[in-house]
Structure 1
């Protein structure tokens, strides 16, 4: 989502203090280890090793939550607003927590060009070219405050390539939707959703607060050389992949036929496969969506098409009311929580399991605009959706519980570089004075209006947590950092899939 890579400002003094010689000495050994690891990925893929790990193949249901552009400082800020505590969000209590790198081929090659090392190659790349903890930190700010700002803000992944990493286990170029780097004509990559359907017969779904054919949802259920080919992507989703559930923005009544054509919308309205729920003026979109999900015939699929400003769901607007947090909520679009529950109701009907990706996509839009209050609203929307999913898993009298379900919360990249002022801490229900994208009272600043290369957080709860630990530090020895491509590997192994 948002802009593609921003080329590094290599004239920054702090960045230039790091010499090419330092880089080459520090990273030479990384090339040796990664050859072995990547050969394993290419030739073995995600095949679990029988008897090695009792969690392999034990997961039937995966719910992957993505806070697009969400930074740790966003989580802390929202937690303070909601609870008056830095780490009070529901996922801050999850049993598995670590940090994740997000770089893509395009950002890798920016660094490789500067340091005069070979460009990205699947067999012989060095992950320290994509992200170096000695410059960016072993954890995101504010846990690690040593990160070099020009290094972190210079170049970064985009949402399309990051979604591709999650969905397929491949690094690719910015802008690619589950497609190989270099854009070969036969470059479509099989996604985790497609693998689950083909090998296990499971159901698949995508939910987003932004258009359904936008980068992140598209990355799991379509393939394209360019994320901007929205109509092509929509056609593949609707007519070829045909997920059991699609819920997102992009309704043409609010943004024209950018994300779905008139013919495609007419096709959905007259579909024999999908039941379409649309935004309707004066009607509660969440109520309509939940009712349709609950009453959906077993032979039908669910498509929810909504939208508002920017074609997205209308985000909750937090009130500045110290001590008493609250939100103004527009009801013609469903909440992300209502959309998540609707998806789970439909997907859970499949006894073979399911994969669901849920995105709070407009966190990224808020951070691009350095809009603190909007960010708080969109992170809260994600919080409520995760709570709704947990409650769904814990409902009695069904076969979905923590022995066969895995919930993951992470971000596809960081955006904005929010820095909260430790001397002017905002309390529960309190918002800063805001003048556009500036904050005159000094409670916070933003370092950028673009994506950054900062590490993001990663949380998990449920079955299969022991699978995560073998990836910790595999690319970054001495740390607990995992990479977004490894998320695909561990999900595939947890589901018992082979590539």
Structure 2
């Protein structure tokens, strides 16, 4: 009887020892990253799309949501230059500074880092392409207002696709240099009229510089430029099988806030939401693309205090220190929930793709 009992115990022990502990499934890593910034877009601005947009709101398609603190290295309230630099370089700096530390030392930005990993990179904005947010993804200057210098840096950058305004920074320059010609010599196909010349030829870069200064406002008839340019850039960049990084900015949400213009603000948010929809449509089909959407800061203390544009209120005309929402979809999206700093976005992106 003892032998039988001993045999049963040994058999049980043997079975227990041969069981393999369940392996934690490895997280899928994104191949592509689409980073979308609504300049000046706080939670109330996002909310306006839900109340004023005809049709479905693309913000609603996200399930991974967080909040970010937008402060600079030394101030609670940021500007777009310092905020863009925090996003692009992973380090906070001072207001007005582009791609530089508080000690005015140039820092590598995310497009440089990803280009070294064979990524293609793109920037699509409704501002000038030398404005604060877009330039933070390729430039390095102590002042955001060095537009002509930034135009030179864009020409010599690793950016493969660029769309926005800012023609004067390239042709009506103090140094007399035709920077558009320099761009063509650097391998860009340049168009200053429309997006229609695009043919998705991956053997060349594209630069669509379509306005003397900034792109027109939505109430002035800009049309579907932003969602169209977003889809076009995705079509081009996604030809690269090693991956791509695209930054899209709804630039004028901020400007409408500064002017306390509710109609301009809401139409810009809705237009930005349409562009978000293009990114999400691609990501859903592709399955390998991380889409993240946030803001560099909130502007004007915008409040939905009524049912009509004229009932909306603003607390001021400047930026605020309010935290802003963060939305993520796709592989790695779970890493962007909770509350974190603007500088952490850079680190989180590099972590999820490597």
Q: Is the 8 A contact 2:115 2:158 kept in 1?
A: no
Which residue of 207, 223, 226 maps to 1:303?
Answer: 207
Q: Secondary structure at the match of 2:101?
A: coil
- Report deviation, 1:467: 2.3
The yes-or-no answer on 1:265 pairing with 2:167 is no
Q: Is the 8 A contact 1:230 1:259 kept in 2?
A: no
- Equivalent in the alignment of 2:351: 493
User: In the aligned structure 2, how far is the partner of 1:405 from the partner of 1:272?
Assistant: 29
- Report deviation, 1:486: 1.1
- Report deviation, 1:266: 3.0
User: In the aligned structure 2, how far is the partner of 1:83 from the partner of 1:468?
Assistant: 29
- Report deviation, 1:222: 1.5
- 1:81-230 equivalences under 5 Å are 81-83=52-54, 89-107=57-75, 130=76, 156-183=77-104, 187-198=105-116, 200-230=117-147
Q: Is the 8 A contact 1:302 1:346 kept in 2?
A: no
The yes-or-no answer on 1:483 pairing with 2:351 is no
The runs of at least 4 aligned residues of structure 1 exceeding 4 Å deviation read: 258-262
Q: Secondary structure at the match of 2:313?
A: strand
The yes-or-no answer on 1:250 pairing with 2:118 is no
- Once the two structures are superposed, what CA deviation does each residue of 1:195-233 show, in whole Å capped at 9, x if it has no partner? 1111x2111111111010111011111211111111111
What is the TM-score with the length of structure 1 in the denominator? 0.63
What is the TM-score with the length of structure 2 in the denominator? 0.87
The yes-or-no answer on 1:235 pairing with 2:152 is yes
- Report deviation, 1:488: 0.9
- Once the two structures are superposed, what CA deviation does each residue of 1:445-474 show, in whole Å capped at 9, x if it has no partner? 2111111101101101000023235xxxxx
User: In the aligned structure 2, how far is the partner of 1:66 from the partner of 1:52?
Assistant: 34
User: In the aligned structure 2, how far is the partner of 1:260 from the partner of 1:490?
Assistant: 40
User: In the aligned structure 1, how far is the partner of 2:171 from the partner of 2:241?
Assistant: 39
Specify the structure having the higher radius of gyration (Cα).
2
Which residue of 257, 261, 282 maps to 1:371?
Answer: 261
- Equivalent in the alignment of 1:312: 214
- Report deviation, 1:272: 5.7
User: In the aligned structure 2, how far is the partner of 1:409 from the partner of 1:66?
Assistant: 6
Q: Secondary structure at the match of 2:185?
A: coil
**CA shift in 2, pair 1:256/1:432, >3 Å:** farther
Which residue of 323, 330, 348 maps to 1:462?
Answer: 330
Q: Is the 8 A contact 1:234 1:260 kept in 2?
A: no
Q: Secondary structure at the match of 1:220?
A: coil
Q: Is the 8 A contact 1:173 1:182 kept in 2?
A: no
Q: Is the 8 A contact 1:65 1:357 kept in 2?
A: yes
Unpaired stretches in structure 1, ≥5 consecutive residues: 1-50, 108-129, 131-155, 280-284, 318-327, 396-400, 434-442, 470-479
- Report deviation, 1:315: 2.4
Q: Is the 8 A contact 1:166 1:485 kept in 2?
A: yes
Q: Secondary structure at the match of 2:137?
A: helix
Q: Is the 8 A contact 1:231 1:261 kept in 2?
A: no
- Equivalent in the alignment of 1:125: none
Which residue of 429, 433, 449 maps to 2:317?
Answer: 449
- 1:339-418 equivalences under 5 Å are 339-395=229-285, 401-402=286-287, 404-418=288-302
Q: How many residues align?
A: 332
Q: CA RMSD in A?
A: 2.4
